[in-house]
Amino acid sequence: MQEYWKNEPIRCLIGRDEICRMVRRLAGEISADYANLVETEEPLVMVGILKGAAVFLSDLVREMSIPTAMDFMAVSSYGASTTSSGVVRILHDLGSPIQDRHVIIVEDIVDTGLTLQYLKQHLAGREPASLHVCALLDKPERREVAVDIDYLGCEVPDEFLVGYGLDLDERYRDLPHVAVIETAGEGEGS
């Protein structure tokens, strides 16, 4: 397999092995916190935010030791830009109701917090039994609104990131690691 990114202006920030360790740790924490769901036979609803979180969510649920159900939402606040417009639009909503269900929003990266704040308010209105957030990456330097991240992989610097689901105009999502793209400027990929 040719690794097309070898000649691209990117540098590895978080390697595949470190990502695997983070995913296993997060899956363990979530599984321990929701172990009582095994007795209720009610799976934990993991809501992946498309497209960026799809890779992370897939790896995360495979490491879980409790029953999970996966659902997805697609939202937009970036378009083809490298910075958020601040206006969140729902492009694809959940396929199943979440009332009285335990729900975790799964994000690839939290940046300004605007999208996550909107999602939490939107989903809380559907009356889940509980609503928490799991994010692989966090850029606290760019935060515009306070948001709680209940399960976090790690903090990252304020650089434009790609790989492991993060993209630049739909490129680089397939990288097995998280990389900094040297020419993109500030912001985030997702």
The model's pLDDT over 73-95, given as tens digits with 9 standing for 90+, comes to: 998 775 444 455 567 788 888 98
Strands, sheet with 151-155, edge to edge from the N-terminal-most edge strand: 89-92, 68-76, 44-50, 102-110, 130-138, 151-155
Catalytic position from the list 59, 111, 138, 167: 111
How confident is the model at residue 1, as a pLDDT? 42
pTM for the structure as a whole: 0.87
| Percent of all residues in the chain with a pLDDT value above 90, rounded to a whole number | 69
Average pLDDT value over all residues in the chain: 88
Q: Is the peptide bond before 139 cis (omega within 30 degrees of 0)?
A: no
Residue 86 contacts residue 112 (beta carbons within 8 Å): yes
The model's pLDDT over 103-147, given as tens digits with 9 standing for 90+, comes to: 999 999 999 999 899 999 999 999 999 999 999 999 999 899 999
Clarify whether 100 is annotated catalytic: no
Q: What is 117-185 written as a DSSP string?
A: HHHHHHHHTT--SEEEEEEEEE-GGG-SS----SEEEEE--SS-EEBTTB-BTTBSTT-SSEEEETTS-
Q: H or E stretch including 18?
A: helix 16-33
Structure tokens given for 24: 């296993």
d(CA 166, CA 164): 6
Q: What is the mean pLDDT of residues 92-99?
A: 91
Could you give the domains of the chain?
17-34+42-157 (3.40.50.2020)
The model's pLDDT over 18-49, given as tens digits with 9 standing for 90+, comes to: 999 999 999 999 999 999 887 777 899 999 99
